[in-house]
Amino acid sequence: MSPLSSVSARPKFWRDVRFLRWVFQIFVLAVVFGILYWIYGNYQTNVERSAVPTDFGFLDNPASFTIPGSDFDQSSPVSAAFVRGFQNTMLVAVVGIIFSTIVGTLVGIARLSKNFLVKTLASAYVEIIRNLPLLLLITFMNLAVVLQTFPRIENAWQPFDLFVISNRGLALPWFEGSGLILLLIFAASIVVSLVVMKIERARADRTGQKSRAGIFAILIILGFLLVGWMLLDYSWTLPFVDGRGTTGGLRMDPSFFALIVALVLYTSSHVAEIVRGSIQAVHKGQGEAADALALSPGQKMRIIILPQAFRIAMPAIGNQYLNLTKNSSLGATISYFELTQIAQITVGNGSPAVPAFTLTLFIYLAISLATSLIVNFFNRRLALVER
Amino acid sequence: MILWLRRNLFRSIWDSITTIVFGGIALWFIWISIEFVFITGRWEIVEVNLKLFLVGRFPEELMWLIGASMVAIAFWVAAVAGGSPLGTEPRLRLGERIVDYVRRFGLIFALAILLVVLSNSMESLLWLGLIGVGVIAGRVVGRMRRDNKIIQKLPGIIWQPMIATPAIALVIFTLLESTLELWGGFLINFYMALISIILCFPLGLLLALGRRSSFPVIRVVCTTYIELIRGAPLFVLLLLAGVALEFFIPPTISPDAVFRGITVFTLFTAAYLAEIVRGGLQGIPSGQIEAGKALGLSTVKINSLITLPQALRSVIPAQIGQFISLFKDTTLAGVALNLFDVMTVGKVITKQDDFLGQGLIYESLIFVGLLFWVVSYVMSKESQRLEKRLGVGIR
Amino acid sequence: MSESVFTDATKMSGDRKAEDAIVVMRGVVKKFKDFVALKQIDFAVGRQEVVVVIGPSGSGKSTLIRCINRLEEHDQGEIIVDGTELTTDVKNIQEIRKETGMVFQSFNLFPHLTVLDNISLAPRQVRGMPKAEAEELSRELLERVKIPEQADKFPAQLSGGQQQRVAIARSLAMKPKVMLFDEPTSALDPEMINEVLDSIKQLASEGMTMVVVTHEMGFAREVADRVVFMADGEIVEVGTPTELFDSPKEPRTQKFLAQIL
- pLDDT per position as a tens digit, A26-48: 999 999 999 999 999 988 888 88
Chain C residues with CB under 8 Å of A6 CB are 78
Res. B395: pLDDT tops 50: no
Q: Is C124 within 8 Å of chain B by CB?
A: no
- Pick the more confident residue, C5 or C153: C153
**In angstroms, what separates the C-alpha of C78 from chain A's closest C-alpha?**
6
* B6-30 average pLDDT score: 83
* C234-259 average pLDDT score: 90
| Residue B227: per-residue pLDDT | 92
| Residue A195: per-residue pLDDT | 87
Contact B295 C111 (CB under 8 A): no
C173 by DSSP, 3-state: which? coil
- Mean pLDDT (chain C, rounded): 89
Query: Which one of C68, C84, C104, C125 would you mutate to disrupt binding with B, by most B Cβ within 10 Å of its Cβ?
Result: C125
Share of chain B above pLDDT 70, in %: 95
Question: CA–CA separation, B242 vs B260, rounded Å?
Answer: 7
- Give me the DSSP letters along A203-241: HHHHH-PPP-HHHHHHHHHHHHHHHHHHHH----B--EE
Chains with 3 or more CB pairs closer than 8 angstroms to C? A, B
Contact B174/B65 with Cβ under 8 angstroms?
A: yes
Contact B372 A24 (CB under 8 A): no
Contact B250 A42 (CB under 8 A): yes
How sure is the predictor about C163, in pLDDT bands with cuts at 50, 70 and 90? very high
Helix-helix angle B257-282:B216-231, to 10 degrees: 120
How sure is the predictor about B287, in pLDDT bands with cuts at 50, 70 and 90? very high
How sure is the predictor about A383, in pLDDT bands with cuts at 50, 70 and 90? low
| Residue A235: per-residue pLDDT | 67
Contact A135 B246 (CB under 8 A): no
Q: Pick B287's closest partner by Cβ from C97, C108, C157.
A: C108
Q: Pick A42's closest partner by Cβ from B232, B248, B343.
A: B248
**In angstroms, what separates the C-alpha of A116 from chain B's closest C-alpha?**
5
Share of chain A above pLDDT 70, in %: 93
Chain B residues with CB under 8 Å of A364 CB are 231-233, 236
Query: Which one of B7, B247, B264 would you mutate to disrupt binding with A, by most A Cβ within 10 Å of its Cβ?
Result: B247
Of the ranges A297-311, B75-89, C104-118, which one carries the lowest mean pLDDT score?
B75-89
- Mean pLDDT (chain B, rounded): 86
Contact A368 B231 (CB under 8 A): yes
- Pick the more confident residue, B246 or C64: C64
Chain A residues with CB under 8 Å of B343 CB are 133, 135-136, 139
How sure is the predictor about C6, in pLDDT bands with cuts at 50, 70 and 90? very low
Q: Pick C106's closest partner by Cβ from B287, B296, B394.
A: B287
Chains with 3 or more CB pairs closer than 8 angstroms to A? B, C
Q: Is A206 within 8 Å of chain C by CB?
A: no
What is the dihedral angle through the alpha carbons of C18, C23, C28, C30, rounded to the nearest 10 degrees? -170
Share of chain C above pLDDT 70, in %: 97
Sign of CA dihedral A291, A295, A297, A303: negative
Contact C97 B309 (CB under 8 A): no
Res. C221: pLDDT tops 50: yes
Q: Is A10 within 8 Å of chain C by CB?
A: yes
Contact A10 C87 (CB under 8 A): yes
How sure is the predictor about A4, in pLDDT bands with cuts at 50, 70 and 90? very low
Residues of chain B with a CB closer than 8 angstroms to some CB in chain C: 285, 287-288, 290-291, 293-298, 301, 305-306, 309-310, 313, 394-395
Q: Is A4 within 8 Å of chain C by CB?
A: yes
Q: Pick C71's closest partner by Cβ from B288, B290, B310.
A: B290
Asked if the interface predicted TM-score (ipTM) of this complex is over 0.85, the answer is yes
Chain B residues with CB under 8 Å of C121 CB are 295, 297, 305
Q: Which residues of B263-290 are buried (b: 16+ CB within 10 A; e: fewer)?
A: bbbbbbbbbbbbbbbbebbeebeeebbb
- Pick the more confident residue, B334 or B146: B334
Give the strand pairing for C178-182 and C100-103. parallel
- Pick the more confident residue, B60 or B199: B199
For residue B97, the tally of other CB atoms under 10 A from its CB is: 11
Q: What is the pTM of this model?
A: 0.87
Contact B105/B74 with Cβ under 8 angstroms?
A: no
DSSP secondary structure code for residue A332 in this structure = G
How sure is the predictor about A171, in pLDDT bands with cuts at 50, 70 and 90? confident
Write out pLDDT tens, residues A335-349. 899 999 999 999 888
Contact B294 C71 (CB under 8 A): yes
Res. A261: pLDDT tops 70: yes
Of the ranges A176-190, B156-170, B206-220, B355-369, which one carries the lowest mean pLDDT score?
A176-190
Contact C156 B394 (CB under 8 A): yes
- Give me the DSSP letters along C25-84: EEEEEEEETTEEEEEEEEEEEETT-EEEEE--TTSSHHHHHHHHTTSS--SEEEEEETTE
Contact B244 A353 (CB under 8 A): yes
- Amino acid present at C147: I
How sure is the predictor about A384, in pLDDT bands with cuts at 50, 70 and 90? low
Contact A16 C88 (CB under 8 A): yes
